[in-house]
Amino acid sequence: MSRVVVVTGGTRGIGLGLAKAFLSLDCKVMICGRSSSSVVPVLEQLSALGQIHGIACDVAEPVQVQALWDAAVERFGRVDIWINNAGVMNSLVDFADAPTEEIGTVVDVNLLGAMYGAHVAFRGMREQQGGGFVYLMEGLGSGGEMRPFHTVYGATKYAVRYLAKALINEAKDTEVRVGSISPGIVVTDLLMDVYKDRPVEELDKAKKVFNILADNVDTVAPWIAERVLAARDNGTSITWLTKFTAFGRFATAAFNKRDLFAEAEA
């Protein structure tokens, strides 16, 4: 039976890549974006690939998140997999210089959005036959690592890991399973937009690291989608860029000259 997958933030970046990948694997897909103007073009683009639906949804608004669940159930009958993918990045400045409004936005989307999504999906799956799988998206900071100018984003992702662990524990005696996805560094507009107002030298330096550790959406998303569909256990952790892989890439960087940005522009 074709499985029903909800991907929040599915109109761009890794979310859009996941939507495409799940459609290619014969899933029914529900996406959301912040506005109808972001959702409609994607639905038109992907409609030929399979059964897809989408609505506008601000994941920081619990009523809208519930409406997303309800729309998926109305269209497809149930939700088997819910992926809390929606996320935003803070400006590359010290925490003390960060705009207060931006701090609120990053926390609202990355943390509250993940909480509201997990809350709605867990409750809905607990009430449907066969339960389902709720995934939380990790990122820089989830494991406690620190990087300059990433304080707000990293703090939200650190909290998301705690949320995932707590929900895995709560799901033990239910048919709901909770897991986490760590996509590594993926070349998306989310990654690159924060460098628009930074010195060119800083971007060039970042690109050197990205060309070692990062990957394109079309490489990472299908790999993740396959493992999401194969997962059966509560507590499943899907990690693209492990510490071992990262070490190997740095060790062979001098012999493996990748240029992800040239590929993206080609």
Which among 236, 185, 189, 243 has a CA at the least distance from the CA of 215? 185
Model confidence at 41, pLDDT cuts 50, 70, 90, reads very high
Catalytic residue among 135, 153, 162, 195: 153
Q: What is the pTM of this model?
A: 0.94
Give the pLDDT band (50/70/90) at residue 82. very high
- 54 inside domain: yes
Round to whole Å and give the CA distance between 164 and 179: 7
Reported as a single tens digit per residue, the pLDDT across 209-229 is: 888 899 999 999 999 999 999
Residue 265 has pLDDT above 90, yes or no: no
Give residue 263's pLDDT: 57
Residue 80 lies in a domain: yes
Reading the block at residue 211, the tokens are: 């060309």
- In a domain? residue 164: yes
pLDDT, tens digit (0-9, with 9 covering 90-100), for 101-143: 999 999 999 999 999 999 999 999 999 999 999 999 999 999 9
Phi, then psi, of 209 in degrees rounded to 5: -70, -45
Of 95-109, 182-196, 208-222, 240-254, minimum mean pLDDT range: 182-196
Give the CATH number for residue 44. Answer: 3.40.50.720
Per the annotation, the verdict on 162 as an active-site residue is no
- Quote the number of domains for the chain: 1
Query: What is the pLDDT of the chain when averaged over all its residues?
Result: 94
Residue numbers of the domain that contains 153 = 4-198+215-246
Q: What is the mean pLDDT of residues 180-191?
A: 88
Q: How many CB atoms lie within 10 A of CB 244?
A: 8
172 Cβ contact partners less than 8 Å away, ≥ 6 residues apart: 234
* Residue 254 placed within a domain: no
